[in-house]
A and B are shown apart, each in its own frame.
Chain A
Amino acid sequence: MAQTPNQRPFGSASSLVSLCNIFIMKVKIKDWKAVAGWRWDVPDDDVCGICRAPFDACCPSCKIPGDDCPLIWGECTHVFHMHCLLKWLGTESSQQQCPMDRRPWVTAS
C-alpha cells in the first residue's frame, strides 16, 4: 500500500471523527408524543347486569360514556355502571345486596 505522506494526517483525522461517533448517540429521541385509547377493563361485549347496555356505552340516565359515567366493581367481582348500581342500592328490595349473587355489596378498592 503505497500512500503519499500528505494523506496520513487526513486519514487519522477521519478515524478520530468515527471514534467520536461511538460516544455521540447517532439517533436520539427528543420528544415522543404517543396516543392511546382506553377501555374499561371488562371482557369485550360485556353488558351491565342491571341495564343490559354494553359497558362501552353509558347507563340509561347518561348521554356520554366515559369519565362521566364510570363503572364500579364489587368484591364479588361483579361490575356495573356506577349510576345503575347506586340506583339499585337506593331501592328497598335491594337490601344492599349485589343484584347478581345477592351477597352484601362491598365496593372493591
Chain B
Amino acid sequence: MCLHKFGSELYANLQGECLLYARTQLSEINKEQDETENGTVLTATRQFWTQYTQQLAVIRCVFLYLDRTYVLQTANTPSLWAMGLAVVRQCLEDSGMAVRLARLIVQEIARERDGATVDRAMLRVLTQMLVDLNLYSQYLVPRLIEATREHYERESRRMVGRLVPVQPAGAQNQMDVPLYLDHVKRRLTEETDRTAQYLSASTKSTLLATAVGELIEKHTDHLLATSFDDMLAQDCVADLGNLYTLLESVARLDMLKRHWAGYIKRTGMALVQQPDLDVALVTELLALKQRLDNVLAQSFAGSESLAHALREAFEEFINARRNRPTQLIAKFVDQCMRTGSRMAPDQALDALLDRVMVLFRFIQGKDMFEAFYKRDLAKRLLTNKSASKDAERAMLQRLKQECGAGFTNKLEGMFRDIEASEDLAGKFAGSASAAGIGSMSFHASILAHAFWPTYEPMDLVVPKAAEEAQNAFTEFYGETHQGRNLQWQPMLGTCLLKVEFDEGPKELALSVVQGTVLCLFGEADELSYTEIQQNTSLDDATLQRTLQSLACGKTRVLTKEPKGKNVDSTDRFIFNKAFSSPQARIKISQIQTKGAEKETKDTEERVQFDRMYKVDAAIVRIMKARRTLSYTDLLTEIMAQLKFNASATELKKRIDSLLEREFLERDDNDQSVYKYVA
C-alpha cells in the first residue's frame, strides 16, 4: 500500500481509529462520579493506559514499514508512537480529564501525607503517563506545589503555635523546638522519598523548597527567639545541627548568626560583670569558649562566618570591663605557673595554657597584660615559686608569638638576671669578701633596672649582720662590675630566722621587713612602736602592716599592748616567749589585702602613664613626618600605630597638651589642621 502512494491515507485511517478508541474508553472512565479514595477513575485510567500503550506498540510493529518510509519522508508527520500519544493527550485535554486526573493525584498525595496508605505503584504509572503525554508540568506540578504549600502552612501554624520551651532531651512530653525540628526533618525525608517513588525527579527541589519554606523559613524569627538560647545553654548539639542545616537550606543563616552573637555577648557579659567571680572567671570563660567551639564544629559545620561572630562577641565582652579580665587572665597564668603539673598533668597544662592564649588574643590592652604578667613573673622568680622551668619557657614562647620579641626580651632578661645571680652567689660564698659574715648564709639577686617592674624605693635599716653581708657583697660586686650602683630593695627580700621560744627553737620564714623588725627583739623583750620605727626607719603604713602580721595574725610571735586587731602608734610590743606550734618551720605571710590592691592600682597607673607617653611619641613622630594634618587624619594615623585602644577624647587631650607645649600649632587658616613646630 505504501508503495502505491497510499501511505497518507493509511496514516490518516490509523490516526482516526486511535482517536475513536481512546475517546470512547476515556469518556467511559470519566463518567464515574465517585471521587473518594475508593473511586475508580485513577485505577481505570491506569488500566486504559497500560492496555493502550501495549496496543500502540503492536500497531507500530505491524506498520513498521509505514513508520520507516512515509512518516520519515513526510514533513510534520509524527511517528506512529508519537501520534498515538498525541491522540490521548488531545482527548484528556478536550474532555477536561487532564485537570481531573491531576486533582485526584494531588488528593491521593494529601491522603498519604495525612498517614493513609496509597497505591504508590498506580500513582507511579499515572504520573509517568502525564510525563509521557507532556501534561505533567502543566497540570500536575502547579496543583501539587500549591497543595503542598497549603498543607505545610496549616501544619506549621498549628504546631509552632503550641511549641513549649526547650525541655531536657528525652524528657519531652510536649513538642518543643528540638522535637519540631525532628518533625520537619522527617517531613522532608518523606517528600524526598515521595519524589523518588512516584513523582518526576525534576519536582524534588521545588517540592522540598516549598515544604521547608512553610515549615522553617516563615517561622525562623519565632523559633530562634524562643528557643535558640536555651538550646545553646542546654548544649543540644544534634538539634542545633538540625537547625543549622534547615536554616542554611532557606538562606537564613544571617538570622542564626545574629542570635548566636547575641547569646555569646549576653552570656559573656553576665560572667564578666559578676563581681565575686575573680580568677574563676577565667575558668568560666574557658568553659564557655570550649562549649561554643564544640557547637561550632559539631553543629555548625565549622562555619567561618559564625566563627568570626564568635571571636567578635568575645572581644566585645572581654573588653567591656576595662582591665579586670586582663588582670584575671594574667593572674590565672601565674597560678598555673606556680602550681604547674600539680594543677594538671604537663600535657593538659600545655593545652590549658594554649586555650588561655586564645582568650588573651581577645584582649585589647596587651600592654596591661604585659605589666601584670611581668609583675607576677618577678615575684615567682624572686621567691623561687616557679613550678617548672620548661613551663615558664613554653609560656615565654607563646607570649613571643603574640606580643613580639620586644616584650619577651625583657622577660628573658629577668630569667638571665636570676641565673647570673645564682652564679654570683656561688662566687661570693667562696670569696674573701664573704669571710666576715659568719655562719649566716647570704644570697643576693641582682636585677637590671631595665627588665624588671619598677618598685617604689623603701627606707629600711636592716640588722647589723645583714647590713655587713650586703656591704661585703656590694664590695665584691664592684670588683667585677665597674661603673654600676647597687640599690638594695628590702621589700623584695626574704629571710629565715631561728628564734628561741620556751618550747624550743623555731625557724621562721619571713620577709626582710618582718625579719628586721623581729631581729630587734633579739636584744629587747619589749619595744614601743616608736622605738621600732626609730630603729628601722620604716614608714607608718609598712610598719603597721608588718607589726600586724607578727602580732595580730594567725602566728603571733609578738604580743601587743593593748590587745586589738589594729596597730596604733602608741602600742607596745612584747616578744611572745610562750609561742607554740607543732611545726619546726613556720611561714608568716605578709598582710596582703591593702598592699595587693595598691600594687594592682600602681601597675595600672604605670601602664596608663606609659600609654600617654606612647601616644605623645606617636603624635610627634607622625607630625614630624607629615608636617601638616587635619584632626581626623591625625586621629586615624595614631589609632593605626597604637597597640591599645584609645578613645578619641583621650587622644584629643594629648594633642591639646602637645599644642600647649608648642610641639604643634594650629593652622592660621583652618583651626582643624595641625602643623608640626620644628
- Enumerate chain A interface residues (CB-CB to B < 8 A): 21, 24-41, 56-57, 63-67, 70-71, 73, 79
Contact = CB atoms under 8 A, between A and B. Distances in A.
20 contacts: A25-B500, A26-B500, A29-B495, A29-B497, A31-B443, A32-B441, A32-B465, A33-B444, A33-B445, A33-B494, A33-B495, A34-B466, A34-B488, A34-B490, A36-B486, A37-B446, A37-B452, A38-B487, A39-B487, A40-B485
Interface in B491-547: 492-500, 507, 512, 515, 518-519, 521-522
Contacts of B483: 40-41, 70-71, 73, 79
Interface string B400-435: 000001100110010010001000000000000000
Given A29-B440, A34-B466, 7 more contacts: A24-B500, A30-B496, A32-B515, A33-B443, A37-B486, A63-B406, A73-B483
A38 B507 CA distance: 31
A39 B488 CA distance: 11
A66 B444 CA distance: 18
Given A21-B500, A28-B497, A36 B444 contact: yes
Given A37-B452, A41-B483, A26 B493 contact: no
Contacts of B519: 27, 29
A34 B484 contact: no
B469 interface: yes
Main secondary structure on B side of the interface with A = mixed
Interface of B: 382, 405-406, 409-410, 413, 416, 420, 440-452, 455, 463, 465-466, 469-470, 473, 481, 483-490, 492-500, 507, 512, 515, 518-519, 521-522, 575
A29 B465 contact: yes
Contacts of A41: 483-485
Contacts of A37: 446-449, 452, 455, 486-487, 489
Nearest to B420: A67
A35 B447 contact: yes
A38 B497 contact: no
A63 B409 contact: yes
A24 B577 CA distance: 14
B146 to A, nearest CB: 76
B495 A32 contact: yes
A73 B483 CA distance: 8
Given A29-B463, A40-B485, A66-B451, A34 B500 contact: no
A34 B512 contact: yes
B525 to A, nearest CB: 9
Given A26-B499, A64-B409, A39 B441 contact: no
B449 A27 contact: no
A67 B419 CA distance: 13
A32 B448 contact: no
Contacts of A36: 444-447, 470, 486-489
Contact of B413 (A64, A73, A79): A64
Nearest to B438: A29
Contact of A35 (B382, B450, B451, B507): B382
A104 B35 CA distance: 122
Given A26-B522, A64-B413, A31 B448 contact: no
A38 B440 contact: no
Shortest 8 CB-CB contacts between residues of A and residues of B: A27-B522, A35-B492, A31-B496, A66-B448, A65-B450, A36-B486, A28-B498, A30-B496
B445 A35 contact: yes
A69 to B, nearest CB: 10
Give the one of A38, A39, A63, A64 with max B CB within 10 A.
A38
B392 to A, nearest CB: 18
Give the one of A26, A29, A65, A79 with max B CB within 10 A.
A29
Give the one of B420, B490, B497 with max A CB within 10 A.
B497
Contacts of B409: 63-64
Contacts of A39: 449, 484-485, 487
B487 A27 contact: no
B488 A35 contact: yes
A56 B455 CA distance: 16
A64 B414 CA distance: 11
A38 B522 contact: no
A73 B484 CA distance: 12
A96 to B, nearest CB: 22
Contacts of A65: 448, 450
B593 to A, nearest CB: 23
Contacts of B485: 38-41
Nearest to A58: B450
B493 A35 contact: yes
Contacts of B481: 38
B530 to A, nearest CB: 20
A55 B515 CA distance: 35
A27 B506 CA distance: 10
A39 B481 CA distance: 11
A36 B466 CA distance: 13
B294 to A, nearest CB: 42
Contacts of B518: 27
Contacts of B498: 27-30
A57 B488 contact: no
B486 to A, nearest CB: 4
A25 B522 CA distance: 7
Contacts of B575: 26
B448 A29 contact: no
A21 B441 CA distance: 24
Contact of A32 (B416, B420, B443): B443
B91 to A, nearest CB: 95
Contacts of B487: 36-39
Nearest to A65: B450
B441 A30 contact: yes
A40 B498 CA distance: 37
B535 to A, nearest CB: 14
B441 A56 contact: no
A37 B448 CA distance: 6
B496 A35 contact: no
B492 to A, nearest CB: 4
A33 B424 CA distance: 13
A67 B473 CA distance: 19
A35 B444 contact: yes
B463 A35 contact: no
A70 B481 CA distance: 10
Contacts of B405: 63
A57 B448 CA distance: 11
A71 B485 CA distance: 13
A79 B482 CA distance: 13
Contact of B499 (A21, A27, A57, A73): A27
